[in-house]
Structure 1
């Protein structure tokens, strides 16, 4: 399992979330919504320090991670993060 961040998504994180070098972005399973992997759960994203990361990706000294407790959500899929050009929002896809 890995995290793949597109160039457009990196720009989005820097501009929309005002993410700076040295900060951490946490992807986590949250109750509510739905995804292609699970009904009643969707992916959340926030800036916070990791506690027990199982998957990490770093670019431009910005750290993206998934905690061990949320591995179940991804069901052994890689997380691909991109941006919807019309809506200017993050999109997520999951690939084995």
Structure 2
């Protein structure tokens, strides 16, 4: 399992979300409602406490804490930007 961050995602975080080199972005699992998958990834600016996996790209550290790792189910997390929106995919 690893976090893959595209150049487009880093550009979006820096230009549209006002993240800067040295910032930490925590990817966490949140309840999003019913349907086929009741959970989704969320993001927040936070310092790591128990990071399970991480990746620094463009000077920004992306990480997932140990207690949210279950949602990847052994797969990689791909963070990208599509039409100015951050998108997550499990690969």
| TM-score, normalized by the shorter chain, greater than 0.5 | yes
Residue 25 (structure 1) aligned with residue 25 (structure 2): yes
Counterpart position of 1:48: 46
> Alignment partner of 2:15: what SS?
helix
- Structure scoring higher RCO (CA < 8 A, sep ≥ 6) equals 2
TM-score (norm 2): 0.91
Spell out the pairing of 1:1-96 with structure 2 (5 A cutoff): 1-33=1-33, 39-85=37-83, 88-95=84-91
Structure 1, unmatched stretches of 5+, are none
- What do you get for the CA RMSD once the two structures are aligned? 1.7
* Residues 34 and 56 of structure 1: CA distance in aligned 2, closer, same or farther (over 3 Å): farther
How many correspondences in the alignment? 91
List 4+ stretches of structure 1 deviating above 2 A: none
TM-score (norm 1): 0.87
Deviation string 1:35-57 (CA, Å, 9 cap, x unpaired) is 9xx71111101111011000010
38-47 or 21-30, which deviates more: 38-47
